C-alpha cells in the first residue's frame, strides 16, 4: 500500500467510499508517521492515544462528510475529556469538561480526532517558541520555526502528521504558519465559525479555521464547521453556502486587487518575486488584475497591538489559581495566591501583553490609546469595504519572509510582531483570508500567497485559491523529515 499519510482529505474520502482502503488503514499509517516524524518536529503536545484512535476509526460512519478522516486540534480548543493547556504552565493538568461547537460538528461529520497541537502560549506569538511544551520545528527545515501561533497545526499538516487540523487566527495565526509550512490555511469571516469552546485571546479578533493540504479540503472543512451557534453571541445567523460549488468555476472574469501598501521595504526579495509571479499567473488564467489602495494599512500593526493586548488582559484575568489550572502552594494570603500563581504560570510574552493591555485600558490612557485605536480600526475596515467595490478578492504576500531560524527574533519582540504585518488588518476588519503555497526560496522554504475576501466572501477566496492551485504544482511538494 502506498503512503496514505500524504493523501488529501478529498482523496481519502474517495478511496474510503470505493472501499479501496479502510479507516483503520488510514489511522495505522498516520500513527506510524507521527511516531516517525514528531520526535523531530515536536508538533503535538499530546500525541494520539493509538487504541482510542483505532477504535474511533473502526466505528467511523463512512457515509458522513468526514467519515474516518483523522483531524488534529490546536491545544486552545476544548475537547471533552482531553487536556486543554493553551501551551501554558498555568493550565497544565486541566481537562476540558465539554466539547467546543466546532468539535461537536467534527464528531457529527464522522471525523476521527487525533492529538493536541503545540502553539504559542495562549496564542500569543508568531513562531511557536512561546510554549511551555518546547519549540515546534518547521517540517521543511527543523532548524527553523513553523510560524505561529498555530505552528503545531501547520507543522502536522505540512509535515503529513495529520490530514487536516484546526487552528485559531487572531492576527494571522492560521495564515502565517500555513505559509511557512507549505500548506493551506483559511481564516473565516468573523462570526462565520462559532468561538464557543475556544479559549479567548482577543474576543473581537479570534476565529477558528482549518489547515489543509488542498483548497478543496479547506472548502470541505468549512462546510462542516461553519454556521450559527446560539452559544456564541458573536456568531452570525447567516446561511452557509456549499463552498465546494465555488471550486467548479475557473479564474476567468474574476477581478483581483493588488494593494501597493503590501509591497513594502523589508519584504524578502524571494517572497516578493514569488508573489508577483503568482499575480502574473492569475492574469494568464483569465483574471483581471486591478490596482487598489488600502491607505490605513500602515497603522494596522500599532492598532492591533493596542486592541489585542487590551482584550487579552481582560480575558486572562480568569486564570488566577482559584477556579481551575495550577496554583502555588502555601500562599501567604489571597493576594499572594493571585500574584504568585500568575507569575509562575504565565510566560514572558503573555506577561508582556497583559501589562501592555492593562496599561492602555487604565484611567487616563483609555481615550489616548484604546479608544483611538478603535477609531482607526474602523478606517481600516472602511478601506476594505471600498476596495471590494472594485474587485472580488485581494492578492498579497502572506508573510514578509520565509521561515526564520529558531531563536533569531526571540530577543526582539518588535521584529517578531512584524512577522504578521500582512495578516493583521484582515482580523481588524473582520474579513476572510486564505494562504496557499506559491513557491519556494532557493533554500527550499515554502512561500505563501494570501487571498483576502470581503465579509462572507469565502466563496470568492476559495474560487481564486483553487483556480491557482489547479494550474500550479507547489502544493504537491512533500518535505523530507
Active site residues: 74, 149, 173
Tell me the C-alpha distance between 434 and 465, whole Å. 8
Backbone angles phi and psi of 463, in degrees to 5 = -60, -50
Tell me the C-alpha distance between 282 and 263, whole Å. 18
Task: Tell me the C-alpha to C-alpha distance, in Å, between residue 466 and each of 12, 435, 458, 463.
Answer: 19, 11, 12, 5
Q: Which residue has the cell 491545544?
A: 75
Residue 453's Cβ-count burial label (10 Å; 0-12, 13-18, 19+) is buried
Q: Which helix (H) or strand (E) holds 164?
A: strand 164-169
Q: Which helix (H) or strand (E) holds 439?
A: strand 432-440
C-alpha closest to that of 423 among 145, 170, 74: 170
Tell me the C-alpha distance between 17 and 4, whole Å. 15
Give me the residues paired with residue 164 across strands: 71, 212
Amino acid at each position: 500500500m502506498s503512503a496514505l499519510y500524504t493523501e488529501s482529505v478529498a482523496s481519502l474520502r474517495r478511496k474510503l467510499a470505493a472501499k479501496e482502503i479502510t479507516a483503520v488503514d488510514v489511522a495505522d499509517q498516520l500513527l506510524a508517521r507521527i511516531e516517525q516524524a514528531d520526535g523531530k518536529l515536536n508538533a503535538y503536545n499530546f500525541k494520539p492515544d493509538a487504541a482510542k484512535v483505532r477504535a474511533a476509526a473502526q466505528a467511523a460512519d463512512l457515509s458522513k462528510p468526514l467519515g474516518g478522516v483523522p483531524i488534529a486540534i490546536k491545544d486552545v480548543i476544548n475537547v471533552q475529556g482531553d487536556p486543554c493547556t493553551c501551551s501554558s504552565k498555568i493550565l497544565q493538568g486541566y481537562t476540558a469538561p465539554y466539547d467546543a461547537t466546532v468539535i461537536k460538528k467534527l464528531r457529527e461529520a464522522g471525523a476521527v480526532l487525533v492529538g493536541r497541537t503545540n502553539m504559542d502560549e495562549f496564542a500569543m506569538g508568531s513562531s511557536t517558541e512561546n510554549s511551555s511544551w518546547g519549540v515546534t520545528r518547521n517540517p521543511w527545515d527543523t532548524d527553523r520555526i513553523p510560524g505561529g501561533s498555530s505552528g503545531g497545526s501547520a507543522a502536522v499538516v505540512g509535515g503529513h502528521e495529520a490530514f487536516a487540523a484546526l487552528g485559531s487566527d487572531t492576527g494571522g495565526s492560521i495564515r502565517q504558519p500555513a505559509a511557512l509550512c507549505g500548506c493551506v490555511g483559511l481564516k473565516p469571516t468573523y462570526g462565520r465559525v462559532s468561538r464557543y469552546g475556544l479559549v479567548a485571546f482577543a474576543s473581537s479578533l479570534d476565529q477558528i479555521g482549518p489547515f489543509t493540504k488542498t483548497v478543496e479540503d479547506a472548502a470541505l472543512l468549512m462546510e462542516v464547521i461553519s454556521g450559527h451557534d446560539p452559544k456564541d453571541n458573536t456568531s452570525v445567523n447567516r446561511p452557509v453556502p456549499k463552498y465546494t460549488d465555488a471550486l467548479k468555476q475557473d479564474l476567468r472574469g474574476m477581478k483581483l486587487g493588488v494593494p501597493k501598501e503590501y509591497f513594502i521595504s523589508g519584504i524578502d526579495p524571494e517572497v516578493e518575486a514569488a508573489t508577483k509571479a503568482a499575480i502574473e499567473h492569475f492574469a494568464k488564467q483569465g483574471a483581471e488584475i486591478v490596482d487598489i489602495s488600502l491607505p490605513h494599512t500602515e497603522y494596522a500593526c500599532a492598532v492591533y497591538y493596542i486592541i489585542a493586548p487590551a482584550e487579552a488582559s481582560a480575558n486572562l484575568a480568569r486564570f488566577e489559581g482559584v477556579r481551575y489550572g495550577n496554583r502555588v502552594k502555601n500562599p501567604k494570603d489571597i493576594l499572594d495566591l493571585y500574584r504568585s500563581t500568575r507569575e509562575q504560570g504565565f510566560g514572558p510574552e503573555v506577561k508582556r501583553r497583559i501589562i501592555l493591555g492593562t496599561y492602555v485600558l487604565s484611567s487616563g490612557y483609555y481615550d489616548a490609546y484604546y479608544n483611538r485605536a478603535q477609531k482607526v480600526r474602523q478606517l481600516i475596515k472602511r478601506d476594505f469595504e471600498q476596495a471590494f467595490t472594485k474587485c472580488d478578492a485581494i492578492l498579497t504576500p502572506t508573510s514578509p519572509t520565509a521561515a526564520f531560524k529558531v531563536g533569531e527574533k526571540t530577543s526582539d519582540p518588535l521584529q517578531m510582531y512584524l512577522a504578521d504585518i500582512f495578516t493583521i488588518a484582515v482580523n481588524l476588519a473582520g474579513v476572510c483570508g486564505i494562504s496557499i503555497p506559491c513557491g519556494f526560496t532557493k533554500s527550499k522554504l515554502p512561500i505563501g500567497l494570501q487571498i483576502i475576501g470581503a465579509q462572507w466572501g469565502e466563496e470568492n477566496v476559495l474560487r481564486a485559491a483553487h483556480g491557482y492551485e489547479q494550474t500550479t504544482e507547489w502544493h504537491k511538494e512533500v518535505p523530507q523529515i
